[in-house]
Amino acid sequence: MSSPSSLSLTQRRIVWGVRILLALAFGAAGASKLAGVPQMVQVFDAIGFGQWFRYVTGVVEVGGALLLLVPATGFLGGLLLAVTMACAVATHLVLIGGNPAPAIVLALLSAFVAWRLRPVPRLAATAA
């Protein structure tokens, strides 16, 4: 396994590029939910859990975007957003219909970031 510090310069740049892209996407999506953009209000009406769920989702997305931008919390941000998008895919498929492809792409990119930044045990170093 590799740790974030063992990635090549090119790999680190790719991961940072994806992190920035995701932070922009989730920051904008979360902000639109928190601001009460009419389309977001309609989507969450269709989900049927109430508008409180729109606020929670907005906070999770903005929070996840911020976590992605902090080097020490990038793994947590990627994991949080991957799980959030997996739930969004399920919501599209089961409750509201529509195209789940954007949520699938965001879930895969978030999972990629979480996987590349995952904590790796240092067992080999302590056994030597």
Tokens 């269709």 correspond to what residue?
46
Every domain of the chain and the residues it spans: 8-119
Q: What is the pLDDT of residues 75-96, one digit of tens each?
A: 999 999 999 999 999 999 999 9
The rounded distance, in Å, linking the Cα atoms of 82 and 8 is 24
- Coil vs helix vs strand at 120: coil
Note whether 106 and 22 are within 8 A (CB).
Answer: yes
Q: What is the pLDDT of residues 12-54, one digit of tens each?
A: 999 999 999 999 999 999 999 999 999 999 999 999 999 999 9
36 C-beta neighbours (distance < 10 Å), count: 13
**What pTM does this model have?**
0.89
List all residues 6 or more positions away from 62 whose beta carbon is below 8 Å from its beta carbon.
26, 27, 30, 31, 34
